[in-house]
Structure 1
Amino acid sequence: MPDLSAFPITQRWPAEHPDRLQIYSFPTPNGVKVSIALEETGLPYEAHTVKIGANETWTPEFLSLNPNGKIPAILDPDGPGGQPFALFESGAILLYLAEKTGQLIPRDPARRMETIQWVFFQMGGLGPIFGQLGFFHKFAGREIEDKRPLHRYRDESKRLLGVLEQRLDGRTWIMGDDYTIADISMLGWVRNLVGFYGAGDLVDYSSLKHVPAWLERGLARPAVQRGLDIPPRG
């Protein structure tokens, strides 16, 4: 049985199944990337709810695993070389899980890099911009009298959706017939934009054709449906 006692995070969130991959997360768009990927691959795991509203990501135990204080993070008892391995950043975790299982990423080197390219597109653009739009449209930012920040993120969100719309023209998934970590990285964010943030009208979402159809296909996947609620909010 793997010994995870050297990792302080296990003191606050004890592992009942230390032989399984441990995920420390919350069902946000970034968090559900990992839970969806785990559900898709069938890799055994144990989920721990990290209550971001209670600032649990800033506790010493969580910071010992992710010094950036953000979910998700994982602890794999069977990491490279068979040794326990900790990892944070949702995009890096997606790539790690894909390579560990040989799933959700093409084997062809060129298509593999193309998939990673679209994951980076989400990490560097779509996720941060949508998140800022949500802040200025729904949360405390909406109280700011100067609406230029809101308009800035609205316009950039519309542009990014246009990039995604063009990419999906004639394709079932981001990589064509292959459902990959590129799709998983974006599904939760687009869902959040039009659902939780309520920004569909703001970004003219109804004018799009391919993105809504892609989102519907993705959300219909059983593994996605399960992953969107993992870990429980507690």
Structure 2
Amino acid sequence: MTIELWAFDTPNGRKISIALEEMELPYTVKVVDIRAGEQHAPEFLRISPNNRIPAIVDPNGPNGQPISVFESGAILLYLAQKTGRFLPSDLRMQVPVLEWLMWQMGGFGPMPGQVHHFLGVSDQTDQRYGLARYSAETRRLYGVADRRLAEVEYFAGELSIADFAILGWAWRHERHKVDLADFPNVRRWYDAMMARPAIQRGFAVPLS
């Protein structure tokens, strides 16, 4: 029995496909076409009540019982705890993983996502305001990441689920109108991450 990944070709969906590949977990993909509104289908809402991708169904969950998990951060934590990988067992060492995972969930995702939105707004006044606001905050967050990566190889020191979460959004840097040449430490980290065979496989999984 394999894990079912319900997802689409978005940053949040890619977080999970690359994590599954890095963790060497067998899985199958169920594409949820958000352009066609499939995230509102009753079958999907049963496992993702917020009608957002991704979600997973693990037929071999805790105590051998099936479990479904929604929200990408929760899925990453679940998979890390299930496999014992990419999340240290030591509480002190867990803290930076959780800090940077929450940093991504709370900022480096919502803010670039607003850039994506306002790039598509037709009203020029609204677009100028939105891009000025959210592009500035997005670049600030890239700066935060760059300063962190000047000190460490990976966000939590060792490779962790925080890197998978952040990579899902850094992957879209061109859509954020961000040149990674402006953030050389992020560029170094990004290139190293994208060179990993498992991550390449994760990005190659058809999700649309």
For normalisation by structure 1, the TM-score amounts to 0.85
1:32-181 paired onto structure 2 within 5 Å: 32-137=14-119, 139=120, 141=121, 143-146=123-126, 147-176=128-157, 178-181=158-161
Q: CA deviation digits over 1:80-109, x for unaligned, max 9?
A: 121100110000000000000000112221
Please tell me the residue identity of whatever aligns with 1:163. V
* Structure 2 residue matching 1:193: 3-state secondary structure: coil
Work out whether residues 111 and 138 of structure 2, in 8 Å CA contact, stay in contact via their aligned partners in 1.
Answer: yes
Distance in 1 (CA, whole Å) between partners of 2:194 and 2:160 is: 14
1:210 aligns with 2:168: no
* Structure 1 residue matching 2:56: 3-state secondary structure: strand
Distance in 1 (CA, whole Å) between partners of 2:122 and 2:139 is: 19
Distance in 1 (CA, whole Å) between partners of 2:154 and 2:96 is: 13
Please tell me the residue identity of whatever aligns with 2:164. I
Work out whether residues 193 and 199 of structure 1, in 8 Å CA contact, stay in contact via their aligned partners in 2.
Answer: yes
Unaligned stretches of 5+ residues in structure 1: 1-18
* Structure 2 residue matching 1:170: 3-state secondary structure: coil
Given candidates 193, 204, 208, the residue that maps to 1:229 is: 204
Work out whether residues 104 and 179 of structure 1, in 8 Å CA contact, stay in contact via their aligned partners in 2.
Answer: yes
Please tell me the residue identity of whatever aligns with 2:202. G
Alpha-carbon distance change, 113 to 170 in structure 1, aligned in 2, over 3 angstroms: closer
Q: CA RMSD in A?
A: 1.3
Q: Compute the displacement of 1:142 (Å).
A: 5.0
| Paired position in structure 2 for 1:13 | none
Given candidates 195, 199, 212, the residue that maps to 2:177 is: 199
Work out whether residues 94 and 181 of structure 1, in 8 Å CA contact, stay in contact via their aligned partners in 2.
Answer: yes
**Which contiguous aligned blocks of 4+ residues in structure 1 show a shift greater than 3 angstroms?**
none
| Paired position in structure 2 for 1:10 | none
Q: Compute the displacement of 1:198 (Å).
A: 5.6
Work out whether residues 7 and 55 of structure 2, in 8 Å CA contact, stay in contact via their aligned partners in 1.
Answer: yes
Distance in 1 (CA, whole Å) between partners of 2:39 and 2:83 is: 28
Q: Compute the displacement of 1:232 (Å).
A: 3.5
For normalisation by structure 2, the TM-score amounts to 0.95
Structure (1 or 2) with the larger CA radius of gyration: 1
